[in-house]
Structure 1
Amino acid sequence: MGLPRWLPLFAQLVVLQLPGTWAEDTIRVFVVPHSHMDVGWLYTVQENMQIYAASVYTSVVRELTLKEHRRFIAVEQEYFRLWWDQFASRTQKLQVRELLAHVPAEPPRSGVDLAFPLCLPHQVRELLAHVPAEPPRSGVDLALSSGLPHQVRELLAHGRLEFVSGGQVMHDEAVTHFDDQILQLTEGHGFLYETFGIRPQFSWQVDSFGASATTPTLFALAGFNAHVISRIDYEIKEALMHAQEMQFVWRGSQSLAEQQEIFTHVLDFYGYCSVGYSWEGEALLLTQFQNEEHNNLNDPVTVSNIGMYVERFVLDVKSRASLYRTPHILWPWGCDRTFFNAGVQFANMDLLLHFLNTQASQLGITVEYATLGAYFRAVHAHNATWRTHGHQDFLPYSSGSEPKGHSAAVYNPLAWTVTTLINLTVSFPSVTVTDESGHPVKAQVQSSKEIPHKYDLYVLTTIPGLSYRYYSIRPTEQAPEGKQATTATMAFTSKLDRKPRKPSTRPWGKKLVSVKNDCYTVFLDPDTNLMHSIWERQSNRTVSVTQEFLEYTVSGDKNDAPVSDNYVFLPKGPADPAWEAVRVEMVRGRLLTEIRQYFYRTLEAKEHTYAIYSRLAHVPLGFDRELLCHHLEQELRVGPLQVNREAVLRTSTDLQSLRVLHSDSNAFQMQRRLHRDYPAHTISRVRWRGLGAGASTGAPLLPVGVEPRLGQPGV
């Protein structure tokens, strides 16, 4: 048969050296299983209970009862209370009480997890026979035994289940009022005390965007012994990691000082998710709600791949060990909506953790299931001296440095699903974009139109109504392990030299410069660098469209009232062209083509005064192409303006619009606007002369002031 495939990997682990990053002492890893359950995010509370939340507690309680060495922490009480009241049987409730009541003694420091019998590598095959099959795709485990309440009490009694934080939710810290923080914490703690006679001792604020100084003060006042945070500014976190100051005593209140201080632990760059160790995938109902397939599933632990898992685990552990001052590593195991099929997850974890412990002397690490309480008791026993952090908070929050990547949260405030392109500025041209599940996302990168040596990144996203999407953005060479590194496509740029202002003489049919997508072709006049016309594929019509910036001279003399200001528009005469030359850049990519028109006040001007950025999207198959393809977006840049001058963008077409204009209403929806005659104020009113339903200029044009001046009806 030859040597097992994993033996060469173990040989590499034994001899591998990473000077300056590996801890000298044996590293003790505390694996803390958890499931992060957002109460207000993608779905309603009731939908989350149906999708995964009820199954998390049902399957976790069952698995904790089956194996005494397993542990789990529960955080948000909103879901646990619903499960307790609506799903848990009497036996399960008793088991939870039993698991919570007695905290186990500290495990031995000898290295090996004694909850397992010793097992040599060649016996892994026998262990694998007991791993449950891949979870069925039928959805969530809602099968309830009659003994759930009893099981919960047993788990609590033996310290295998631990409640941390204990509030109804994991509250935000940037904008929430402290009264609301106290209220939701009091409600959750009241339930736990009335039901189990316990009060949480540790916090778990791992997903709040930033960390305020009020929260540790309130937790200290509530009697907490330690505080866990994660999302702080990336530069601050990097500095703390470099200085091994990821743990400190936080005196959040300037007035209370040491009277209300709390030991604080900052999670490392991995955060609260254990990427690459998910064997349960995602609940089928979740993929049905999203109307797409998210198969975030890692291969089960087998003889052929256990070496790979061990190598990755050890490298992660020893890189983490360099960031903290004690040889104790807190490893949160889980992520959003995990452990809904706890049987499969725990079975694979059992194999990996046990196998690691059989190799403890060679690898230099020991691994054990743990609660937060077990971890902090071990850290406390180390008897180290900790730095004191004052009342400064960790706000605002920024999630990634541009050299190393960052993340973006995108919100759809509408009630329906939207497919669109979002734009960010990055410092690197080779970019990888992944979603919250680690799947690659279509993106395009191009040179920035505003900032030298920067890049504009466009990401194609589909977001359900009233929902968020999170994206991770980083240089391609720094794509996370286990993720598919699909690089954003790079756009290429062509240019038209600066052309002086003059009437357009190019007739129809002569050679024009074209820019197109599947719905429109935009033609530019190379003699003037102005827009010439637009062809629409669906109707096979070509419409003459020209645009230019003009300026009104207005009254600014207070001695000659009234004055033209923010409320009253009082021009002294007709508008004049505000430019003498135009330069064009055309940036073509797979997702987007952008026309950049730069308007210069004089022929010799080095900097432009006005700019129009026109964008046409190229929507790949498989996405909702209708709205995005038919959307010709324009972005305007204006200024600096001269004193007593008002700027307008004049759009002229040959559409027969019957003096009707469509524009947006407070960015809510499009508004049909009819022309109105004001005989006494003809020059001070916007003059609508025919721009119609088929030529909506869109919201981006409105902030400058749209003055449609249309030619004779001809279409």
Structure 2
Amino acid sequence: MWVATLCFFLVASGVLSKPVDDEPTCGYDACPLSDPATLNVHVVPHSHDDVGWLKTFDQYYFQDVQNVISSVIVALKLNPERRFVQVETAFFKKWWDQQKDSVRQDVINLVNNGQFEIINGAWSMNDEAAVNYQYTIDQYTLGLRYLEDRLGKCSRPRVGWQIDPFGHSREQASISAQLGFDSLYFARLDYRDKINRLSKKSGDLLWRGSSSLGNAADIFTSVLYNHYSAPPGFCFDIVCDDDPIIDDPESPDYNYQNRVETFANFVREQASKYPTNNIIVVMGDDFRYQAALNSYINTDRLIAGFDLFPQTFQGKTIKVFYSTPSCYAKAVNDYAITNDYNLEIKTDDFFPYADGVGNLVVGYFTSRPASKRFVRDGNILLQTAKQLAAAVNVPYDNVEINSLKEAMGVLQHHDAITGTELIDVTHDYHRLLHKGISDTSDAVDPILSNLITGSGDNDLQFKSCLLANVSYCPETKSDQFTLVVYNPLSRVVSSPISVPVDTETWSIVDPEGQEVIYQVEPTVIDFSEIIPEAVSPFFLEFVATDLPPFGYKVYTFAKTESAKIKSVTVGNEDTSFEVDETTGLLTSVTMNGVTLDISQDFLYYTSGGGSQAYVFTPASNDPQTIASTVTTSVVEGDIYSAVVQEFSDWAHQTIKVYKHDSSHIEFDYIIGPLDINDGGKEVISRFTTSLNTEGAFYTDSNGRETLKRVRNYRPDYEYTDEQPVSGNYYPITSKLAIKDEDSGLEVAVLNDRSQGGSSIEDGQLELMVHRAISTSDAFGLDEQEYDHGIVIRGKHYLVVGPSSGNGEKSLAAIERDVVQRKFLQPWVFVTNQDVSDQLVNLQFSNLKTSLPDNVQLLTLEPWKDNTILLRLEHVLEKDDDPNLSVDVTVDLSDLFVAFTISELAETTLAGNIPIDEYEPLHWPGSTNDTPKVRRDVGADLQVTLSPMQIRTFLATVTYN
């Protein structure tokens, strides 16, 4: 331990500094030269540093990570051949903020000469199953901006380093390519897939990340050979027990030649499984290099040993040297071009992941469902805050908004949003996210106050009702209160708004002074049994109609004595459903001109011995029903019609059809607390139809493109069905669907957070909504809140109809629309102050017109002085809709109210690389072997988008 402590002291005190290099030599120019006549062994020192897992973020930093970075910097300066790759920007920021200027300059020097190479560069190494693509893009944008502001252009990563997530999504590959990465590395894939790939030398491949974008989403991908660990016996850090390399021939423990030969044997075995004369050997693992000098000294000796004791492979000399993942990709690319070698092309993804026979790592698709929803709420507020900040010229470095950006970045980690961390770490994640939301609410309050009052002298003290789902919001317990409903979508929407209230009769007035129709119903369950605070006994719902894009409307509430008159039908003339009077279960749905027999029920799998936070292993493949008969009551109102179902004292649901919206049926469920005294429970919502689906179903990829799945089948390897249920589970971030090709009918269930799901039988869909498991390995899910197991409230949205749609849009386009409206639903701010004399601007929009239905303004946030970061996305795939899956042009010249754009500079996806400076590697045999086609943006500021395309710009603006 004294080595790490000494290194930390030397770096922190600035003892080992040197002057900055005048001419940086980084990137591919800094790579060691591979020899085409040898086997080139690229040794890559790295440390995988989880931003929370068994310890909290801060515990890992102060106990481990500060030692890693500090000792590495010292070690790199002692030998210019040494390399290290730095990954997690959240940790790097914490370290950087504690350093003296001389130490910071040392880091810049090492970045500029290629020794300290930034790879990945995101705030955290994100999960790839439970995240939405907007989360992922944002946390890369945050990390890459932070790095370049402090380290310069040489800190721009060329490598996606996703070595630890539990399965890998196609959308992650697409995002990585659009970020400007040339390569992507990971370690975890199904054990059968890995055996097959190594046997046919396809561990290096080209991954096509999009079926719509073509070459814009191709990326070189490499599957690491030995997990992400050093070869067995070659970990030299203080946390390891492996023997050092002893090169003194006079020592009785001399082992130099033997150790070289042992390493050479490992290299030969790996080289026999990969396609070129290059292999990558990672030297590291979790929180390694805490005593970096010790590790590097031994690795120096190992590398030198191949000159002293030459080794060969298939007649070629083995050449071992320090390298980086980017240099490995460049060497493989040089080989492919020189030899006209075509790598295998993959077009699907790497889900689900099994790390052994029957051990399916798919439970985390659902684990800790409350956390997964909390992250989605955080994202809505973050987008709202960034848009408002851009409207009123709040600087990029606003501390309060950045608090939420950073918390959201940490929560994307593959042991955070996944729910695979220890429970104390979960609580710390919630603390971070709650702080970020609170800080950002504080930042938004004066912005809203100024916009609404037209004055900078007022503070209306708006709050967010984060516990409204359990009928708790102190501000709405008053006799009068004011809501500001903000729409973060770039088109007009009408949305149901629900708030807890204490009485049934109200007067609601909209910005035009018109009375608003509303509906008040008792809470589905007594939430006072769940939380000790003074909850409200009723929910009030109204429809906020025609909410302006990137804008708000103000609604005032006052108690009255008049009673409301309720209407009479379950459903509306376009969309309705039927419930069996005897069983209380759904029996049919009418929507989009089709009536379809469909049932829905809650069931649960009893957890098998292997189930825990990561793994779903049912004790039986047949789930148990919760109740044979469901108690129901009908609700009729002016806002919605519904049936309230009680399955048991821990399972309730309300099935709703809104009068203003025929696009879907809403299933609002409350599940928990789960009794696990008789074994763990893994609860599903199952929809059953008579559709002939022939084993096929469809899932989204991180909320973006759709992938076809076939039950009990994998396209890349021979599948074995030891786990016929969990082996067919996939991550569902936004949509699970089935189709009957003969009838042309389609059923889709859309969700409000990521979950695991499948079609275990033809015509069926199931989504896992809650899990509670007690295990002996510390990765159980017996979560407690308020002294009992957690209660989950969530929503599913059912869409049914012909695939061709309703005559205006295809069903796929309808589903996309619902997904967008529910993912970025309006955010409600509330105050119970008497503000009647301060309400001046009762509605506001920063867009002069809505964008087309197939376009979303994905990002709008302050960037630098008089510069806005702006992203436009085409939200449809190329085959979604014959009329909307086409190129579309957006005119930005006079779109915004708050500012006028004078110039657009296009960049890669994260906003960090001007598009003219981006030159990707090109690969033989791929459509990527020709330059990527990009449309210029002229002075007229017309931006054209193709299906699924995202274009990122830095917009120079003048505030109006």
TM-score by length of structure 1 reads 0.45
Structure exhibiting the larger radius of gyration computed from Cα positions: 1
**Normalising by structure 2, what TM-score?**
0.34
Larger relative CO (CA 8 A, sep 6+): 1 or 2? 2
